[in-house]
């Protein structure tokens, strides 16, 4: 995967049908991957599996499934099923989640998130690579008295983490295949995120990690109006400490300050900045900020760069 898009059809009459159609358009534009966020609505691994099976030209991924409120056995079954459905083109993203959604939605205490992430990754890797596990940690247990292998999912599912803080980056470098930073500009990537996750992977004897940068942006001529809409849409993230920190490390004050908004040259230059900062893949979200014409214009540019 090189350049992709995050697809959100949650306002459509039928989200699955609309997602397939959007993915078809993305593939036609020359993009190489489609990613699906996880909310309290559609199940993103299922959505990725359905879309990936319909559109063989695309890799598909989730960005990302929180580890609170889930169990490695369940997530492994979802991920392996998606991997079998797409014949090896599925990529699983995990996230620590937030205190607001974990406690407000699941009624679970948001405690020791990095320790939970470590245990979750350890058990999940056993399951996705071997179809079995015998993990007994402080926070969770994952054992397989019966096999947990999904036939057709022989290729191990890549495990990525939406990590940006020092502890999460260390855990991801040691235990995952890469990271999915969001709202992290080139400065934060180059000076803080990429060095930390790379050093952790090296110390653990693991290969260089993938850095899949999720970028909020769109090609448009109406820059001021679109940035204002981005400010409204992204304001939620400013109240979450991990995002507020990475926005500041990127040189921004508001989340919209790190959004990539402008004409083709501006956006293409920013994509190159992300790659120069260490991103191995770039995925654009928010391409629907200014309507259908600008979305297609954005996808055409990204497809040409891919």
Same domain, 104 and 182: no
Beta-bridge partners for 211: 179
> pLDDT at position 34, please?
98
> pLDDT at position 300, please?
97
Same domain, 30 and 112: yes
Question: What are the pLDDT digits (tens) for 9-48?
Answer: 999 999 999 999 999 999 999 999 999 999 999 999 999 9
**Last residue in a domain, options 110, 135, 161:** 161
Same domain, 91 and 25: yes
Boundaries of domain holding 8: 1-161
CA dist., res. 246 & res. 189, Å (int): 9
Question: What are the pLDDT digits (tens) for 136-161?
Answer: 999 999 999 999 999 999 999 999 99
Same domain, 107 and 17: yes
Q: Is residue 189 scored above 60 in pLDDT?
A: yes
CA dist., res. 252 & res. 206, Å (int): 33
Same domain, 192 and 305: yes
pLDDT above 70: percentage of residues in the chain: 100
Q: Supply the CATH number for residue 229's domain.
A: 3.20.20.30
Same domain, 157 and 190: no
**Last residue in a domain, options 161, 176, 203:** 161
Q: Is residue 1 scored above 60 in pLDDT?
A: no
Same domain, 142 and 181: no
Same domain, 225 and 277: yes
Same domain, 141 and 156: yes
CA dist., res. 76 & res. 49, Å (int): 14
> pLDDT at position 194, please?
98
CA dist., res. 65 & res. 77, Å (int): 13
Read off the pLDDT band of 306 (50, 70, 90): confident
Query: How many domains does the chain divide into?
Result: 2
Q: State the pTM of this model.
A: 0.95
**Last residue in a domain, options 138, 161, 184:** 161
Read off the pLDDT band of 2 (50, 70, 90): confident
Same domain, 54 and 85: yes
CA 188 to chain centre: 17
Average of per-residue pLDDT across 197-213: 98
Same domain, 150 and 232: no
| CA proximity to 262, closest of 226, 213, 300, 288 | 226
Which tokens in the block code for residue 192? 């803080």
Residue 193 near residue 181 (C-beta atoms within 8 A)? yes
Q: Is residue 66 scored above 60 in pLDDT?
A: yes
Read off the pLDDT band of 181 (50, 70, 90): very high
Question: What are the pLDDT digits (tens) for 283-301?
Answer: 999 999 999 999 999 999 9
Same domain, 133 and 16: yes
């Amino acid at each position: 995967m090189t350049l992709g898009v995050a697809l959100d059809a949650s306002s459509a009459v039928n989200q699955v049908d609309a997602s397939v159609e959007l993915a078809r358009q993305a593939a036609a534009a020359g993009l190489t991957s489609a990613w699906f966020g996880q909310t309290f609505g559609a199940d993103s691994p299922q959505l990725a599996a359905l879309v990936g099976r319909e559109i063989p030209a695309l890799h598909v991924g989730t960005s990302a499934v929180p580890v609170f409120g889930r169990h490695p056995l369940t997530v492994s079954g979802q991920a392996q099923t998606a991997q079998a459905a797409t014949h090896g083109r599925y990529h699983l993203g995990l996230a620590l989640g937030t205190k607001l959604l974990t406690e407000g939605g699941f009624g679970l205490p948001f405690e020791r998130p990095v320790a939970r992430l470590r245990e979750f990754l350890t058990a999940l890797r056993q399951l996705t690579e071997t179809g079995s596990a015998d993990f007994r940690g402080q926070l969770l247990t994952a054992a397989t008295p019966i096999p947990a292998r999904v036939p057709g999912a022989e290729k191990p599912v890549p495990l990525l983490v939406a990590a940006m803080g020092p502890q999460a980056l260390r855990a991801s470098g040691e235990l995952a295949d890469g990271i999915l930073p969001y709202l992290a500009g080139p400065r934060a990537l180059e000076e803080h995120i990429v060095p930390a996750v790379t050093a952790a992977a090296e110390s653990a004897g693991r290969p260089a990690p993938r850095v899949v940068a999720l970028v909020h942006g769109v090609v448009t001529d109406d820059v001021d109006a679109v940035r204002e809409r981005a400010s409204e849409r992204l304001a939620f993230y400013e109240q979450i400490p991990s995002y507020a920190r990475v926005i500041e490390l990127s040189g921004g004050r508001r989340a919209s300050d790190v959004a990539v908004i402008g004409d083709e040259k501006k956006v293409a230059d920013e994509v190159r900045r992300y790659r120069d900062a260490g991103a191995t893949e770039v995925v654009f979200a928010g391409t629907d900020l200014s309507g259908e014409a600008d979305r297609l214009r954005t996808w055409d540019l990204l497809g040409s760069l891919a």
